[in-house]
Amino acid sequence: MRVVTWNLWWRFGSWAERQKAILAVLRELRPDVVGLQEVWSTDAENLAEWLAGELGLQWTWAASEASDRWQRRIGDPGVEVGNAVLSRWPVVAQDVLRLPAPEELDDGRLALYARLATPSYEVPFFTTHLTSATDASALRRQQVTALAEFVAEHRDGTEFPPIVTGDFNAWPDSDEIRLFGGYKTAPAAPGQVFLDAWEYADPTAPSATWDPANPYVHVSPPVRIDYIHIGPPGPGGLGHVRAVRRAGDGPVDGVWPSDHAAVVADLADALTARPAVGEPW
What percent helix, strand, coil does the chain show, rounded to 5? 25, 30, 45
Integer-rounded Cα Rg, in Å, for the chain is: 17
Q: What is the reported pLDDT for 274?
A: 46
pLDDT tens-digit map of 180-213: 999 999 999 999 999 999 999 999 999 999 999 9
The domains found in the chain, sorted by start residue, are: 2-267 (3.60.10.10)
pLDDT tens-digit map of 82-130: 999 999 999 999 999 999 999 988 999 999 999 999 999 999 999 999 9
Q: What is the reported pLDDT for 271?
A: 59
Higher pLDDT, 104 or 265: 265
| pLDDT interval class at 273 (50, 70, 90) | very low
Q: What is the reported pLDDT for 280?
A: 37
Strand partners, 228: 165
Whole-model pTM: value is: 0.94
How far apart, in whole angstroms, are the C-alpha atoms of residue 227 and residue 166? 6
pLDDT tens-digit map of 159-173: 999 999 999 999 999
Q: What is the reported pLDDT for 71?
A: 87
State the DSSP string of 23-38: HHHHHHH--SEEEEEE
Average pLDDT, integer, range 131-137: 95
